[in-house]
Amino acid sequence: MSRFGNIPDVSVNELIQNSIPRKTTQCRESVWNQFTEFFQQRKYVLSESLSTDMIANILKDYAFNIRKRNREDYKESCIKTIWNTTAKLVQDLYFNKYNRRIDPFSDIVFKAAREARNTKRKQLQSIPEKRKVSAEAFSLEEIDKIINSFDEDTPESLQKKFFHIVSFELAWRGGEESNCITEYFKEEIGNDECATGRIIYNPIPTKICQGRLFDKLQEKRSPHITSNNNE
């Protein structure tokens, strides 16, 4: 008996296709439907004989004229995603259907198309509502809410803050922190035998979070938090 499997190529291809997430498939279909509508309105035909230069011109035209159905521009971050997905689908089409290799992502012929995509993004970045927002300042009301929620001088809020941090550090899910014995946590000691200012959770494997909060939690813990001797 051979040590290796004997799965036929057809089955492998089916398994590959089935492993693609449904959302990815739906996204590709949506992008391709939009591109199809575009090149049909422009009277383009993606035929086998279409030159690489013409394919590049189509993608350059599309890069600068991608729009929503209501004729509004997309946000700048969407332009790159839509164009890259479209270029990949066109690449796949020509390889799978016509056994022809094109490379919109590195071929010099497509340089102008890539630059059109980047230029369109730069234009949209100058429009505040089209710009990608990575961070937004809290309002005064939100700041007050955070302060009140994590007031370290009250047992309930201190406990909430402690759990908020350790649940992220320890990847807690589903309210695992609802009851906690403080003996699960120990002060971390460095190689120099001095405290590091952090705590460890279940030394194997080592997990860390702020030791300052742990010390304060020990002082102000509510009945919700206990130690092994229930002190």
Could you give the CA distance from residue 132 to residue 140 in angstroms, rounded to a whole number?
23
* Whether residue 109 is found in the same domain as residue 60: yes
Reported residue count of the chain is 231
Domain boundary among 99, 130, 161: 130
What mean pLDDT, rounded, does the chain reach? 80
* Whether residue 83 is found in the same domain as residue 154: no
Could you give the angle at the alpha carbon of 72 between the alpha carbons of 34 and 78, nearest 5°?
A: 60
* Whether residue 83 is found in the same domain as residue 196: no
For position 44, what pLDDT does the model report? Answer: 93
Could you give the CA distance from residue 43 to residue 94 in angstroms, rounded to a whole number?
19
Global pTM exceeds 0.75 = no
* Whether residue 14 is found in the same domain as residue 122: yes
For residue 135, is it within any domain? no
Task: Write the DSSP string, 116-129.
Answer: HHHHHHHHHHTSGG
Range ranked top by mean pLDDT from 15-19, 36-40, 209-213: 36-40
Q: pLDDT, tens digit, for every residue of 35-65?
A: 999 999 999 999 999 999 999 999 999 999 9
Could you give the angle at the alpha carbon of 81 between the alpha carbons of 76 and 84, nearest 5°?
A: 125
Residue 212 has pLDDT above 70, yes or no: no
Dihedral sign from CA coordinates of 208, 209, 210, 214? negative
Residue 231 has pLDDT above 50, yes or no: no
Domain boundary among 130, 151, 169: 130
Structural domain tally of the chain?
Answer: 2
For position 228, what pLDDT does the model report? Answer: 56
User: Can you give the residue range of the structural domain that contains 103?
Assistant: 9-130
* Whether residue 125 is found in the same domain as residue 18: yes
Percent pLDDT > 90 in the chain is: 39
Q: How confident is the model at residue 136 (pLDDT cuts 50, 70, 90)?
A: low
For residue 3, is it within any domain? no
For residue 43, is it within any domain? yes
For residue 221, is it within any domain? yes
Q: Are 91 and 104 in contact (CB under 8 A)?
A: yes
Could you give the CA distance from residue 121 to residue 78 in angstroms, rounded to a whole number?
9
* Whether residue 107 is found in the same domain as residue 168: no
For residue 178, is it within any domain? yes
* Whether residue 106 is found in the same domain as residue 154: no
* Whether residue 34 is found in the same domain as residue 82: yes
